[in-house]
Structure 1
Amino acid sequence: MKHILLIDDDAFFIKTLSNYLKRFNYEVSTETNAESALKLIDQTTFDLVITDYKLPNSDGLTVIENLKKNHPEVPVILITNYSDIRTAVKSIKLGAFEFISKPIIPDEFKIVIQKALENKEKESQSNFKKENTQKEKEQTQQSADETSLIKGVNAKAIQLWQFAKQVAPTTMSVLITGESGTGKEYVAQYIHDHSERANKKFVAVDCGALPENIASSELFGHVKGAFTGATHDKVGQFEYANGGTLFLDEIGNLAYETQVKLLRVLQEQSIRRVGDTKDIKIDVRVIAATNEMLQSAIDDNIFRLDLYHRLNEFELTTPSLRNRPEDFEEFVKFFIKIASQELNKAIPRISIKLIERLSYYDWPGNLRELKNLMKRAVLLAQDGEILEAHLPQAILEKEQPKVNLKDAKEHQEKQLILEELEKQRYNKSKVAKALDIDRSTLYNKLKQYDIKL
């Protein structure tokens, strides 16, 4: 029986949580402050420690620091207030396995506890050999860097992953919006991995690569003889993903006719292969993604409103790379490390000054573009350092933006319009009204700032 220690000074909360964990055959001990908890940890073997951030005369970070120093094998989960993002980030850096925001979602909490205990088992088996080679250190660092790549420390990025973690254990369909290359599939995979379907298939489909004439066959399958060339029965992606998660990337590219069929599948939870007369029941969670403004497509009758609402029970937005300056250096170094491993080369150096020059570029291709560029640079670097000569001149020509009063005013105006567009879901009439301008003025501003809808 796994032994868990709960640390919280809220008597009602700790009793409720304790009773909940005992339902799953966990042995539970409780403490109300950090000092007594740390003494108990020194005297008793625990498989997991769960601590609140706010404790009398101390805090949860103190518990984490002490555990990582004296009992590094024991995983820690920190409970924080929903808005306390900085504390959550700091806890991960100190060595916490994960953080959970209040109010706690039971299903999510259960999954995190299971993963923490499973991770401890794996580490225990590894430590049994008493090996601590340089290779293992590099793998550990790579894992940490990969988490940083996906999550980052940007406030909007942290909020994105918090939301993703909260929606993951539910059955809600999710729509992920964001520019191309911002990691929408990473988010979808994360949701799947933290859901009850984690041990089932995750199937990704690029709707933008599906020709209109075969889209239905690819998604729903077909029977032999359904059309010319259908020489055998084919299982579609929905049927293949049955029990798991289906990720539909670039959903806005689906033909209208295929949208109608997709809506029917989502409503009835059954598919009918092309050319067949019988329905097949399915159990699939759908996560969709787009880099387009679907609201504009809806206004132009290109995308169905009813399908949009069916897909968008919960919406997430991945921030662009240019809006994550605090993460840029870390991304650069991560992609250099990955490229070096793929090319079987030593990791080259790169100067802070050169990284700063790269940050001036707009990066329209976002993380994908940066990854490709760093791989090219690593390939060209021959003397253990990435230099300007290894990078495209067009990217380095971008100078540090010079700020003047006019530019600052225009930038502020553009940001205000973009924020209101997102708030009003790209309904231009509502945006104009909210900004107290007429529609013609709004259209002129959209053209002036090259805002494409």
Structure 2
Amino acid sequence: MSNILIVDNEISICMLLRKILRKQGFTVDTALSGSTALRMLKETAYDIIFCDYQLKDKELNGGMLMNSIHKLHPHAAVVIMSAYPNVRVAIRMIKEGAYDYLLKPFSVAAVLALTGKIINDTKYPLKDERPLSLNHNDQYVYGESPVSKELYHQIAMVAPTNYSIIILGETGTGKEAVARLIHLQSKRAHQPFIALDCGSLSDELASSELFGHERGAFTGAATERKGAFELAQGGTLFLDEITNLSYPIQTALLRVIQERVVRKVGSLKEIPVDIRLLAASNENPVVAVARGAFRLDLFYRLNEFSVSVPSLRSRLEDLPLFIATFMRDTAITLGKETGHFSAQALACLRNYSWPGNIRELKNVIRKACLLTTDVPECDITSLPEEIINAYNPVTMAPHRLPATRNHLRIKAGKTALPKIMVTKKPAGDNKTKAAGALHLDRKTLCDKLQLPDTLS
């Protein structure tokens, strides 16, 4: 994967860019001064360097550092950053060999689009030949369950086309990961993949994020800005939580899809765009249409094909694979061995309903691995209380359970009979209902009562 160096006086800028680019799988280092960066550059070959023009070094600015970089690493791509728009400086930097001039504050989409452009530029023989959109940290885990295989079959079938697709699924199921897989298997794989969360965008912000704006178009618009449609030019645009867009923005979006041109806020100029559109929603757009929150004609434009991402509880056969993958990734992140889950802990994980799906599972695994120190396995004490409380406690050792009213303690043998019989009586001597009330299966109840399973 490509190595990237961030050189900036402000640690907040370094950390922001580091977070953005690490999520894309890049190896990212940071330096708070030009002199530190030079020492690092003599030891490591970086493919891309984001460098602030105004460095805190007394006799070294971004331009001077760029010249030194080109002597050390002629094929490295240098992006000069600045919070002060200066056309003369920008032109001079590009003439002297800068790949681009990036103004602060910048958007995540702008950074990703620029990095993707560098990777796809044949002038820069980077180590990584994969497109930017392959996110190593969030790379989709291929499950083996029937529902997982059906999902991959649908992706393989529709990805090579240019169809607009609606991706449906509960929160945390991995809808963006599916969108990335579709992009990677499409003819646009080596073009940008731009993802935009529409969940909390106001009308003004949504217009700017989607279509861009001209300088002075509204209060705070100090510079011209490209929108997601322009940034995704030639590639794929993924709009998450699309049913949350307001009606006026939906109308503007419909026009762009129909006409394939965008008009920036504050501009009369129309810009042709060539993108593939993928959209996602937790709520089925048909339901949103029925309640008057989503335009029917926009739904028809987007729904040339739909993909449903299964919930985690419907693919529990894949749970061991997900757990192993997340534990491996967490071990790399923490820089330590994470061991494995105990039998009781695994039983708890299998029994839980996972309302937050894969995202919730990943967070649980990361937390459990962090809490586990100096022991070979993650046991039940490392799991959240709601997961422990949801577990069927028949086979769980009582001393391992937290003392809460939510836990039903049932011991093997005669001591369990009184509680079971109390529950069985109001169930009308129906063992199936009694078992359900106790959160047991029918066979376990029969074993406890020492009754044949053939009885009603």
TM (norm. structure 2) is: 0.55
1:160-199 mapped onto 2 (5 Å cutoff): 160-199=151-190
For residues 221 and 386 of structure 2, the distance between their equivalents in structure 1, rounded to whole angstroms, comes to: 48
Q: Report the Cα offset of residue 401 of structure 1.
A: 10
1:103-252 mapped onto 2 (5 Å cutoff): 150-252=141-243
1:384 maps onto 2:376 in alignment: yes
For residues 218 and 378 of structure 2, the distance between their equivalents in structure 1, rounded to whole angstroms, comes to: 55
1:247-262 mapped onto 2 (5 Å cutoff): 247-262=238-253
1:347 maps onto 2:338 in alignment: yes
Distance change >3 Å, CA 216–CA 404, structure 1 → 2:
farther
Among 386, 389, 397, the alignment partner of 1:397 is 389
1:304 maps onto 2:295 in alignment: yes
Q: Secondary structure in 2 aligned to 1:246? A: strand
Which runs of 5 or more residues in structure 2 are unaligned? 1-135, 395-429, 437-456
Q: Deviations over 1:254-302 (max 9, x none)?
A: 1111000110111111101011112100001000011112212111111
Distance change >3 Å, CA 404–CA 214, structure 1 → 2:
farther
Q: Deviations over 1:85-134 (max 9, x none)?
A: xxxxxxxxxxxxxxxxxxxxxxxxxxxxxxxxxxxxxxxxxxxxxxxxxx
Whether contact under 8 Å (2:213, 2:225) holds in the other structure is yes
Q: More helix by proportion, 1 or 2?
A: 1
Q: Deviations over 1:20-45 (max 9, x none)?
A: xxxxxxxxxxxxxxxxxxxxxxxxxx
Q: Report the Cα offset of residue 252 of structure 1.
A: 1.0
For residues 238 and 393 of structure 2, the distance between their equivalents in structure 1, rounded to whole angstroms, comes to: 38
Distance change >3 Å, CA 316–CA 151, structure 1 → 2:
same
For residues 393 and 311 of structure 2, the distance between their equivalents in structure 1, rounded to whole angstroms, comes to: 18
* Superposed CA RMSD: 2.4
Identity %: 45
Query: Which residue matches 2:76?
Result: none
For residues 330 and 355 of structure 1, the distance between their equivalents in structure 2, rounded to whole angstroms, comes to: 12
Q: Secondary structure in 2 aligned to 1:238? A: helix
For residues 368 and 151 of structure 1, the distance between their equivalents in structure 2, rounded to whole angstroms, comes to: 15
Query: Which residue matches 1:419?
Result: none
Whether contact under 8 Å (1:360, 1:401) holds in the other structure is no
Q: Secondary structure in 2 aligned to 1:271? A: strand
For residues 408 and 217 of structure 1, the distance between their equivalents in structure 2, rounded to whole angstroms, comes to: 57
Which runs of 5 or more residues in structure 1 are unaligned? 1-142, 410-453
Whether contact under 8 Å (2:141, 2:322) holds in the other structure is no
Distance change >3 Å, CA 280–CA 398, structure 1 → 2:
same
For residues 166 and 401 of structure 1, the distance between their equivalents in structure 2, rounded to whole angstroms, comes to: 44
Match for 1:156: what amino acid? Answer: V
Whether contact under 8 Å (1:219, 1:237) holds in the other structure is yes
For residues 238 and 404 of structure 1, the distance between their equivalents in structure 2, rounded to whole angstroms, comes to: 60
Q: Report the Cα offset of residue 351 of structure 1.
A: 2.3
Q: How many residues align?
A: 266
Query: Which residue matches 1:368?
Result: 359
Match for 1:384: what amino acid? Answer: P
Match for 1:246: what amino acid? Answer: L
Q: Secondary structure in 1 aligned to 2:176? A: helix
Give the number of the structure whose alpha-carbon radius of gyration is greater. 2
For residues 189 and 404 of structure 1, the distance between their equivalents in structure 2, rounded to whole angstroms, comes to: 49
Q: Report the Cα offset of residue 192 of structure 1.
A: 0.5
Q: Report the Cα offset of residue 227 of structure 1.
A: 1.5
Q: Report the Cα offset of residue 224 of structure 1.
A: 1.5
1:321-360 mapped onto 2 (5 Å cutoff): 321-360=312-351
Match for 1:380: what amino acid? Answer: L
Whether contact under 8 Å (2:338, 2:372) holds in the other structure is no
Match for 1:389: what amino acid? Answer: T
Whether contact under 8 Å (1:175, 1:287) holds in the other structure is yes
For residues 151 and 288 of structure 1, the distance between their equivalents in structure 2, rounded to whole angstroms, comes to: 22
Whether contact under 8 Å (1:177, 1:289) holds in the other structure is yes
Match for 1:150: what amino acid? Answer: V
Query: Which residue matches 1:81?
Result: none
For residues 318 and 335 of structure 2, the distance between their equivalents in structure 1, rounded to whole angstroms, comes to: 26
Match for 2:329: what amino acid? Answer: I
Match for 2:391: what amino acid? Answer: E
1:315 maps onto 2:306 in alignment: yes
Query: Which residue matches 2:274?
Result: 283
For residues 404 and 286 of structure 1, the distance between their equivalents in structure 2, rounded to whole angstroms, comes to: 53
Distance change >3 Å, CA 216–CA 408, structure 1 → 2:
farther
Whether contact under 8 Å (1:360, 1:399) holds in the other structure is yes
Distance change >3 Å, CA 404–CA 193, structure 1 → 2:
farther
Whether contact under 8 Å (1:150, 1:186) holds in the other structure is no
Distance change >3 Å, CA 211–CA 281, structure 1 → 2:
same
Q: Secondary structure in 2 aligned to 1:301? A: coil
Distance change >3 Å, CA 165–CA 407, structure 1 → 2:
farther
Q: Report the Cα offset of residue 325 of structure 1.
A: 1.4
Match for 1:395: what amino acid? Answer: I
